[in-house]
Amino acid sequence: MTFTFEAQKREKAGKGAARATRREGRVPAVIYGNKKEPMIISLDPREVKKALDTTGFYKEIIEINIDGKKHKVTCQDVQFHPVTDAAFHIDFLRA
């Protein structure tokens, strides 16, 4: 199964910017690896929840569309909210 996310690029990095992204109702994430600059993005929480509930999410190649460009990644780590168990932050590694 192939997972595809529509992402928005974020301007600022850091704790405050991530909190602002969560207040907007989105999940902050980062794409890194392949000796390229990290890209900070935000994802739709409904898409994230649906993908996380699917078996094999951590093993699959994931396609992330950002401004018309496709990036192939794998999920490196997901941090969950301690009370609601919703995705809090996601790290993606370039494939």
d(CA 86, CA 63): 21
Return the half-sphere exposure (C-beta side, CA atoms, 13 A cut-off) of residue 95: 13
pLDDT of 27-41, one tens digit each? Answer: 999 999 999 999 999
CATH architecture of residue range(s) 3-94: Beta Barrel (2.40)
Tokens for 88?
């809090």
Task: Give phi and psi for 59, each to the nearest 5.
Answer: -100, -20
pLDDT at 2: 82
Q: Strand 69-80 to strand 36-43: parallel, antiparallel, or no bridges (unpaired)?
A: unpaired
Q: Where exactly are the structural domains of the chain? A: 3-94
* 1 has a pLDDT exceeding 90: no
pLDDT of 43-64, one tens digit each? Answer: 999 999 999 999 989 999 999 9
